[in-house]
């Protein structure tokens, strides 16, 4: 049985979350949670929330499921729309600032 959770429009660059996501992709659920609790990066907090949401969704689908049997089947970090801003530069020019955001998709499975 699979369960899915999606975190959308998260105000952090996808690159920063992918660094953390590569550490936990394919691992068992309890191990991944322990790793995310110890990683001192901002992306770990976002990823932790989405993984816990997927686990809660699995518990709702099947109340008898054992969380120790779950593992991260798929973890995808995609780019979301970015805020585009401009900053004044020398000689009347403008420099572009791109404030990136992310979408995280996590699929947990026990099969």
> Please, what are the domains in the chain?
2-109 (3.90.470.10)
Mean pLDDT by 10 residues, the chain (111 residues): 96 96 95 96 96 96 92 96 97 97 96 82
The whole-number pLDDT of residue 54 equals 96
Give how far the C-alpha of residue 53 lies from the chain's centroid of Cα atoms, to the nearest Å.
11
User: pLDDT value at position 111?
Assistant: 82
**Closest to 101 in 3D by CA, of 4, 14, 41, 43:** 14
The pLDDT assigned to 68 comes to 92
Per-residue pLDDT, 31: 95
pLDDT at 103: 98
Predicted local distance difference test score (pLDDT) of residue 108? 96
Nearest to 102 by CA among 8, 6, 2: 8
């Amino acid at each position: 049985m699979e369960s899915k959770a999606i975190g959308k429009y998260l105000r952090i660059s996808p690159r920063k979350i992918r660094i953390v996501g590569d550490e936990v992709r394919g691992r068992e659920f309890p191990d991944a949670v322990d790793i995310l609790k110890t990683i001192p990066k901002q992306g770990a907090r976002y990823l932790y929330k989405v993984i816990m949401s997927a686990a809660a969704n699995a518990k709702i689908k099947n109340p008898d499921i054992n969380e120790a049997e779950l593992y991260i089947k798929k973890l995808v970090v995609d780019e979301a729309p970015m805020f585009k801003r401009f900053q004044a530069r020398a000689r009347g020019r403008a420099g572009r600032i791109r404030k990136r955001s992310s979408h995280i998709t996590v699929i947990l499975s026990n099969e």
